[in-house]
Amino acid sequence: MAFRIPARTFWRASPKNAVTAPMPSLVRKYAMPAPEQLPNKNRTAIVTGSARGIGKAIALRLAQDGYDICVNDIPANLSGADAVVKEIQSMGRSAIAVAADVSNLSEVQKLIERSVTELGPLNTMVANAGIAQVKALLDLTEQDLKRMFEINVFGVFNCYTTAARQMIKQGGGGKLLGAASIVAFKPFALLSHYSASKWAVRGMTQAFAMEMAEHNITVNAYAPGIVGTAMWDLIDEELGKKKGVKKGDTIKKYSSELIALGRTSVPEDVSSTTIVIDGGIIFT
């Protein structure tokens, strides 16, 4: 006999699965697995653009999960990268800070070479670095478009290819992760070239996943929404100027109208996100 159990019953029976909405000011803490529980005590990861924001949250989460981390950012943000390194080292993990521009292939190659030399074989590459710009389509210049793709698309490509070659040389597979965005699925007005760059990341990630499968390298992208970072502060400010509203109003409006939880996300939300990992049955 068929029967139904009210959804509320499952909700009450599984409080650990309940979705909560912590205030952005709260710092999330994660339990560190015991060393003997780690399948490999010397797993390493490179996280680009990790001196702050989402990249920093990912680097810290990976460290908490037992990875040694190569913290990367551009030279202008190196002091922030050094601070992240100290935070990771306080967890008992090894970490180094390496300045490199992901749009420059030779710098990415040197980044990976140094990480491997100082931390050991590369297991995970997180191509997180990216930029955004608020500008109307008819105001875009060739340089605007070029710079956006140099960082957001060529940067991811440089990280994917160089890391994949290193992993193939090592043997044993690995993981490649790239920063897409919700605009990789639905573009935002005044963010046209940023949206286009993230559509490219999404497509390239799926293509890499197909070609890297034979080497036991998994390739996935994460697509953050409206997150309280320096990048979204800039987007909020520039959109506010266009619409004649004060700073903070635009991101507040988007958060209340578009996000089911009714709040702006925090970087830790992204670092804790669960993605579909099914060997390539579903591509999102």
Kindly list the catalytic residues: 194
Which residue is it, tokens 């105001």?
Answer: 139
Closest CA to 152 of 183, 114, 186: 183
Q: Is the dihedral of CA 74, 75, 77, 80 positive or negative?
A: positive
**Rounded distance, CA 162 to CA 257, Å?**
41
Give strand pairing partners of 95. Answer: 69
Closest CA to 125 of 170, 79, 183: 170
Three-state SS sequence of 41-110: CCCEEEECCCCCHHHHHHHHHHHHCCCEEEEEECHHHHHHHHHHHHHHHCCCCCEEEEECCCCCHHHHHH
**Rounded distance, CA 206 to CA 187, Å?**
19
Q: Quick one: how far is CA 46 from the chain centroid?
A: 12
Contact status, residue 213 vs residue 280, Cβ threshold 8 Å:
yes
